[in-house]
Structure 1
Amino acid sequence: MTAEEENVFDVYRDQVDRPLSRLFREYGTDELHWLVLGMVANVVARVASLVPPVVLGVAVDAVFAGDGAYTLPLLPDAWLPTESAAQFRFSAALIVGSFLTTAVFTWVYGVAANNFAHRVMHAVRTDSFEKMQRLDMTFFDDKQTGEVMSVLNNDASNLEVFLDNALQNSARLGVMILGIAAVLFYYNHELALVTLTAVPLMVLFTLWFMRAVEPRYVEQRSVVGDLNTALENALSGVELVKTSNTEDHETDRVANASYDYFRQTMSILRLNYLYRPGMEFLAGLAFAVTFVVGGVWLSAGPPGPFTSTLTVGTFITFVFLTQQFVAPLAEVSNIVDQYENAKASSERVFGLMDVPVRIADDEDAVDLGEVAGRVAYDDVSFGYTETPLEDPADADEYVVDGVSFEAEPGETVALVGPTGAGKSTLLKLLLRLYDVTEGEIRVDGHDIRDVTLESLRSSVGYVSQDTYLFDGTIAENIRYGRFAGVDHDVESEELRERVIEAAKAAEAHAFIDALPEGYDTRIGERGVKLSGGQRQRIAIARTVLQDPAILVLDEATSAVDTETEMLIQRSLDRLSEERTTFAIAHRLSTIRDADTILVMEDGAVVERGTHEDLIDADGLYAKLWGVQAGEIEGLPEEFVEKARERHVDRGYGNDD
């Protein structure tokens, strides 16, 4: 991927330094007590597991063979029994006690390690989601949903596995190697050198593996994001897929993404196929060499340059400890595997967290307080650039270019123009979904960049053409975002009444009340169980409940039939009463009574005035009006007359 192709997420991900160390610094500190408890319990359990081979070797020599004194490391001789029978019972008690100690502290280690891992990952996942929520819309314009989901889900889970397994297994491995090496050197340093010869080779082999596999894990995590995106797109657009008869096409897209993931996974596994058996071979070789050299030592005396004495009990201790030595060394491959996977994932997690939040409250931001609704756009320009353009000749990069107008409290300003003229973007700037590149927008005299986002957005109601409803009940969707302190599981009677009143104002109560479970009807993901017009009216009811001083209607009736549009338009008329209203409309008849109509083209306002003024000017608006009026006038007279009668009979009034 070239530098030009990298998006902002990739740039910040590449700049993450020592991601796993950062994970511990920023998130491990608060849960350090769990980590310390787990580490201590792990050390005690591993040390206890070394006791049986040592006791067994001593017992074989002193109790059964009578070929040595009954002495144990770290225990004073005065504490040890002198009679053979007592020594046997003491040995058995030590062995049973060590197994019990190992079991108890392994349980403590498991509880502590899991608490540490899951608490840290809860904090990481929550912070990642919270950061994602605060990022401005430019980030989401550039990123695919599947890739963001991959960070929040797959990458966070990989870190959890590392903290839960690899970290503690690394500690266990370190304790086992150091503990076993200490015991072996204590009993016979010469044979210990033979046993530990494989360790340097295993270290070098591991370093090679880590350098070779790291870039492959980085690529694998990126491919997972692509696969998630392909799956999310196909599932979210399943209706379009079926109606377009493109199941095979979507299957091919998912298959291609899945095959890319397969290829990257296999490139990692091919290295693992070499590394894991290699580590097991070296560990097994250490055991085999110890057994052969020790066996020769016992049967024929010290071989080669060796000169020390080796007893049967010591040999048994070496054999058992070397066997314990083999298993943790063979697990190094799993630890490295989880480490590299976690490293790649943590880079992506912190890459997301490091993306700057460009739209946020200033330190001196003020609360708007009670909003009258006076709005002014002052020479506003916007483009997907971080800084104003230096060369005026580059103005075509602006989506909105030099727009100025004012709206007094209670006035309605309508925006019309061809698709892509910048109408929706212009109004999204009012909500600070994007920040202006040049100029300023003022609400009641305040530059919106100088006020808190919460007070700004709570004073602006937004109804778009793309209505989004959450999986839940109708009542939950209507009150979404309002009454933050209310327990939604125990809805108050007052809140219920306000929800119903909002639905009535939005012309939604009738169809809701007719549903089997009324306001408690679950509507499915994205409200799939409702029609487009029903979803739109619930969105309007949600805005009614918000009771904003400023209202933004972004083609709120564009996706419904004419009859439903009449219902929605009537609810919108009620909603816009005594509010400052901005309306984008594709049907000009719905906004002809607006106080001011702005006609936009290529991001600029090319005409402005009332409906009558613009008709008299005979410009772009007049042409658009003529096209739409012509469509109506071209209908058969009897059809138009019946439609008007139906309109009146339904109680919509006798206007046109």
Structure 2
Amino acid sequence: MRDLFARYARPELGLFVLGVVTSILGRGVSLVPPLVLGVAIDALFTDAGPYTLPLVPGAWIPNGAPAQLWFSVALVLGSLVVGGALTWVQGVSLSLFSNRIQHAVRVDAYRAMQDLDMAFFDDKQTGQVMAILNDDVRNLRMFLGTTVSGALQLLATVLGIAALLFYLNAQLAVVTLVGVPALGAFTVWFMRTIRPRYRALRASIGDLNTRIENNLAGMEVIKTSNAEAFENGRVRDASWENYLRTWAVAKLEYLYQPAMDLLAGLTFAVTFALGGYWLVVGPPPGFSGTLSPGELVTFLFMTQRFVEPLSGAGRIVNSYENARASGERIVDLVERPVTVRDGPDPVAPERITGRVEYDDVSFAYVPGRPVLADVNFVVEPGETVAFVGPTGAGKSTVAKLLLRLYDVDSGAVRVDGHDVRDLALDSLRSAVGYVGQDVFLFDGTVRENVAYGSFDATDEAVVAASRAAEAHEFVVDLPDGYDTRVGERGVKLSGGQRQRLAIARAILQDPAVLVLDEATSAVDTETERLIQRALDRLTAGRTTLAIAHRLSTVRGADLILVLDEGRVVERGAHEALLAAGGLYAHLWGVQAGEEASAFDSLLRTDGED
């Protein structure tokens, strides 16, 4: 919490100081009415003493009981008005302070999250990250906006009341304040006990968010798999775990708050009993001197003002521990080390021609379990290299290393002779276009999605790229044309339509190097023909790395690399690989057989009709 406060509060320190000062002054002003009331009772109603007020010069106090009465009323009303104004200033300043801090923390946390290695997203669940960016940041804002001022108000109230009580009657003040150490010890125990429970609670909230977020994203699969009951059970289990963690915290809170109320109430009761005995009988044993009715009334009012904030200390501690658990998660995200980043002196070439070289590249997502081993190949500018092989052979990993989504464990990936680790990330990634099988579209318009990454593109350029991608015809038929919103993840469009928009996005980017990751594997034949025609336009004159499941789409590649268990086991052109009779020929034969079988089945079905 200290680290977060030191990092983010400095630019807004003026607002914080203003809020704290007005908070303390407001608490001080709130002590005026009971003090004036006690003095008025003694001086005007019981004649037990002169009309004097601490810090008020005698020349300011009028003579005569009626004038002193109206002076007392004016002081009480004035203190209420001033206290209200101070409370307003305190609320506005601390609210501005906490909301600006929330904004800064959220933006920094998102920026840090976005800069993290892909390995983080492989391991971290989306709901956990969302819980940090939303719930944890909000907890921090609530703590800074209300709890900090509440703690300072409590401190100011306790010190101010203690000073006034000792000023009025030091002996009775000792009795009134004797419960403070007990309250403090109980609070320390509460903080130590509830801290791990709050950590577990924050983790359970992230797990529940992840479960719900996953189910919302996969609702079509849930329904088509008739898995509603199964998913209801999984959400119920996650919710029950969250309930147990919440109840573990609540049980401790329900113990702490009544105990604090009881201790604070006992302080009030003892003060009332001793003060009343003093007035009715005389000084209790061990006490001496006098106690006036006005002083007792002031003591009781002050003690009540003293009891209320002390009994609310639990809320302050509760909020602090909640914010502390959230703060730990925020700091863990913001300060998580990043390995894939620009070097100390990154190279940013003015132009990249597109020569790509893999030199003895090896890589493993998990140490000891290599995904690629000793991969070597060179693609000259304008050439196409295709990667084929069984599922899990490491084909997509090759592309991820080129984009530096991960860094190689050994060897080097080079573009135009530069190790990609020496290139500036923005320079590298702006030179490499990517079209994958699972196209992601943002919840925005068609125009915004095509221009994503080329944000300054003109409308004419967007339309031209869409025409080249065989997308313009279906776009203009949409309800609002290029201004049609595509929905979250592009759910309002078909898979082939999303694919063509992704190709239009890559055409608009105009990259020197293009990566096609099974870009036509999940569409029908007619759509595949349109997409393939668009891809032919896109790849013309560009260095292309094509990852293919359908071998027929890459038979014209300049070089075909066959991967198996992370190693290049064959390389060459289509005809040469068929003639070699190896794994490629086997895969080609299997696919050709499947296609022939499917065609025969279709003919039989047509004949039956």
State the TM-score, normalizing by the size of structure 1: 0.90
Secondary structure at the residue paired with 1:398? coil
Q: Letter of the aligned partner of 1:402 in structure 2?
A: D
Shift of 1:463: 0.4
1:426 aligns with 2:407: no
Q: Letter of the aligned partner of 1:461 in structure 2?
A: G
Q: Letter of the aligned partner of 2:59 in structure 1?
A: A
- CA deviations on 1:266-325 (whole Å, 9 max, x unpaired) are 111111111100001111111111111111111111111111211111111111111111
Shift of 1:205: 0.9
Q: 2:33: which partner in 1?
A: 52
Given the alignment, which residue of 533, 536, 550 partners 1:587? 550
Q: Is the 8 A contact 1:188 1:308 kept in 2?
A: no
Shift of 1:612: 1.0
Q: 1:285: which partner in 2?
A: 266
Task: Give, in whole Å, the separation in 2 of the partners of 1:308 and 1:21.
Answer: 48
Shift of 1:157: 1.0
1:414 aligns with 2:395: no
1:627 aligns with 2:608: no
Q: Letter of the aligned partner of 1:523 in structure 2?
A: V
For residues 83-482 of structure 1, the aligned pairs below 5 Å read: 83-384=64-365, 397-482=369-454
- CA deviations on 1:241-278 (whole Å, 9 max, x unpaired) are 00001111111111111111111111111111111000
1:562 aligns with 2:534: no
Task: Give, in whole Å, the separation in 2 of the partners of 1:198 and 1:459.
Answer: 70
Task: Give, in whole Å, the separation in 1 of the partners of 2:543 and 2:332.
Answer: 41
Task: Give, in whole Å, the separation in 2 of the partners of 1:467 and 1:25.
Answer: 42
Task: Give, in whole Å, the separation in 2 of the partners of 1:345 and 1:621.
Answer: 53
Task: Give, in whole Å, the separation in 2 of the partners of 1:290 and 1:298.
Answer: 12
Q: 1:12: which partner in 2?
A: none
Task: Give, in whole Å, the separation in 2 of the partners of 1:551 and 1:372.
Answer: 12
Q: Is the 8 A contact 1:213 1:271 kept in 2?
A: yes
Q: Letter of the aligned partner of 1:282 in structure 2?
A: L
Task: Give, in whole Å, the separation in 2 of the partners of 1:608 and 1:222.
Answer: 49
Task: Give, in whole Å, the separation in 1 of the partners of 2:38 and 2:45.
Answer: 10
Task: Give, in whole Å, the separation in 2 of the partners of 1:520 and 1:561.
Answer: 27
Task: Give, in whole Å, the separation in 2 of the partners of 1:281 and 1:628.
Answer: 79
Secondary structure at the residue paired with 1:450? coil
Task: Give, in whole Å, the separation in 2 of the partners of 1:223 and 1:299.
Answer: 59
Q: Letter of the aligned partner of 1:413 in structure 2?
A: V
Q: 1:17: which partner in 2?
A: none
Which deviates more from structure 2 when the two are superposed, residues 223-232 or residues 63-72? Answer: 63-72
Q: Is the 8 A contact 1:411 1:581 kept in 2?
A: yes
Q: Is the 8 A contact 1:190 1:308 kept in 2?
A: no
Task: Give, in whole Å, the separation in 2 of the partners of 1:424 and 1:631.
Answer: 24
Q: 1:11: which partner in 2?
A: none
- CA deviations on 1:594-629 (whole Å, 9 max, x unpaired) are 000000000010000001110111111111111222
Task: Give, in whole Å, the separation in 1 of the partners of 2:584 and 2:348.
Answer: 39
Q: How many residues align structurally?
A: 604
Q: 1:61: which partner in 2?
A: 42
Shift of 1:634: 4.3
Structure 2, unaligned runs of 5 or more: none
- CA deviations on 1:469-509 (whole Å, 9 max, x unpaired) are 011111111101112xx4xxxxxxx7111111111111111
Q: Is the 8 A contact 1:385 1:437 kept in 2?
A: no
- CA deviations on 1:526-553 (whole Å, 9 max, x unpaired) are 1111111111111111111101010000
CA 1:639–1:188: 2 relative to 1, 3 Å: closer
Q: 1:6: which partner in 2?
A: none
Q: 1:524: which partner in 2?
A: 487
Q: 1:78: which partner in 2?
A: 59
Shift of 1:66: 2.2
Q: Is the 8 A contact 1:614 1:622 kept in 2?
A: yes
Shift of 1:638: 12
Task: Give, in whole Å, the separation in 1 of the partners of 2:194 and 2:424.
Answer: 47
Structure 1, unaligned runs of 5 or more: 1-19, 387-393, 487-493, 644-656
Task: Give, in whole Å, the separation in 2 of the partners of 1:376 and 1:563.
Answer: 35
Secondary structure at the residue paired with 1:116? helix
Q: 1:606: which partner in 2?
A: 569
Task: Give, in whole Å, the separation in 2 of the partners of 1:459 and 1:637.
Answer: 45
Secondary structure at the residue paired with 1:581? strand
Task: Give, in whole Å, the separation in 2 of the partners of 1:317 and 1:56.
Answer: 7
Q: Letter of the aligned partner of 1:111 in structure 2?
A: V
Task: Give, in whole Å, the separation in 2 of the partners of 1:384 and 1:565.
Answer: 32
Task: Give, in whole Å, the separation in 1 of the partners of 2:475 and 2:593.
Answer: 37
Task: Give, in whole Å, the separation in 1 of the partners of 2:175 and 2:533.
Answer: 90
Q: 1:498: which partner in 2?
A: 461
Shift of 1:515: 1.1
Task: Give, in whole Å, the separation in 1 of the partners of 2:143 and 2:262.
Answer: 25
Shift of 1:637: 7.9
Task: Give, in whole Å, the separation in 1 of the partners of 2:275 and 2:497.
Answer: 84
Secondary structure at the residue paired with 2:421? helix
Task: Give, in whole Å, the separation in 1 of the partners of 2:537 and 2:194.
Answer: 64
Shift of 1:143: 0.8
Shift of 1:343: 0.8
Secondary structure at the residue paired with 2:253? helix
Secondary structure at the residue paired with 1:449? coil
Q: Is the 8 A contact 1:46 1:172 kept in 2?
A: yes
Q: Letter of the aligned partner of 2:204 in structure 1?
A: V
- CA deviations on 1:35-91 (whole Å, 9 max, x unpaired) are 100010001100000001111111111122222111100122222222222211211
Task: Give, in whole Å, the separation in 2 of the partners of 1:308 and 1:289.
Answer: 19
Task: Give, in whole Å, the separation in 1 of the partners of 2:43 and 2:168.
Answer: 15
Shift of 1:630: 2.5
**What is the percentage of aligned positions where both structures have the same residue?**
57
Task: Give, in whole Å, the separation in 1 of the partners of 2:203 and 2:350.
Answer: 45
Task: Give, in whole Å, the separation in 2 of the partners of 1:345 and 1:184.
Answer: 39
Task: Give, in whole Å, the separation in 1 of the partners of 2:597 and 2:232.
Answer: 45
Shift of 1:635: 5.8
State the TM-score, normalizing by the size of structure 2: 0.97
Q: Is the 8 A contact 1:468 1:526 kept in 2?
A: yes
The list of structure 1 runs, each at least 4 consecutive aligned residues, that deviate by more than 6 angstroms after superposition, is: 637-640
Shift of 1:385: 5.2
- CA deviations on 1:145-176 (whole Å, 9 max, x unpaired) are 11111111111111111111111100010011
CA 1:639–1:49: 2 relative to 1, 3 Å: closer
1:577 aligns with 2:549: no
